[in-house]
């Protein structure tokens, strides 16, 4: 019996797991788990609201972010305050495919963040593994 003709890397972005190779992997995992909690009640969350929630709830973790490693990625300096760091984390999660941006259907042009089905499954699996300790 052969495996069905499927390619995992056609279903998920190639760089999805790159955040786990970062010195900041603990911050990324903590953020993914916080997203898991936030999205339990909502299918999408306004981007600025989520950034503010992360800055508040993950304040200490964000301040532990290794800025040196992250500054080299796009040449821009990152301010070391919780809001700027939260924005940076959200940007990195979007670049790697963990989250997606959508615009609201109203006329406000607000950006919303959603999780793709594969992200939800992977985050739930990682959360379950973390609980086994």
Q: Which of 100-116 are b and which e, b meaning 16 or more Cβ less than 10 Å from the residue's Cβ?
A: eeeeeeeeeeeebbebb
What value does the mean pLDDT take over residues 96-123? 89
- Range 56-68 average pLDDT: 85
Please determine, for residue 70, whether its predicted confidence score (pLDDT) is greater than 70.
Answer: no
Distances (CA, A) of 61 to 6, 41, 89, 123: 38, 24, 11, 18
For residue 72, name the pLDDT band (cuts at 50, 70, 90). low
Which helix H or strand E contains 125, and what residues bound it? helix 117-131
Confidence of residue 1 (pLDDT cuts 50, 70, 90): very low
- Residue 3: helix, strand or coil by DSSP? coil
pLDDT at position 65: 84
Which of the given ranges, 61-65, 71-75, 120-124, has the highest pLDDT on average? 120-124
pLDDT reading at 66 higher than 90: no
Which tokens go with 118?
Answer: 């594969």
For the chain, give the percent of residues with pLDDT over 70.
Answer: 86
Average pLDDT over residues 100-121: 87
| Full-model pTM | 0.85
Q: Which of 19, 18, 15, 37 is nearest to 89 (CA)?
A: 19
Question: How high is the pLDDT of residue 80?
Answer: 83
């Amino acid at each position: 019996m052969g495996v069905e003709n499927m390619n995992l890397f056609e279903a998920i972005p190639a760089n999805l797991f790159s955040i786990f190779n970062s010195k900041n992997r603990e911050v990324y995992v903590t953020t993914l788990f916080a997203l898991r909690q936030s999205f339990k009640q909502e299918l999408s969350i306004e981007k600025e609201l989520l950034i503010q929630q992360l800055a508040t709830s993950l304040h200490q973790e964000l301040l532990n972010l290794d800025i040196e490693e992250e500054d080299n990625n796009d040449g821009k300096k990152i301010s070391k305050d919780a809001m700027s760091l939260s924005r940076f984390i959200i940007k990195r999660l979007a670049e790697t495919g963990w989250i997606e941006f959508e615009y609201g259907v109203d006329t406000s042009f607000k950006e919303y963040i959603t999780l793709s089905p594969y992200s939800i499954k992977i985050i739930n699996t990682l959360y379950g593994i973390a609980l086994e300790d």
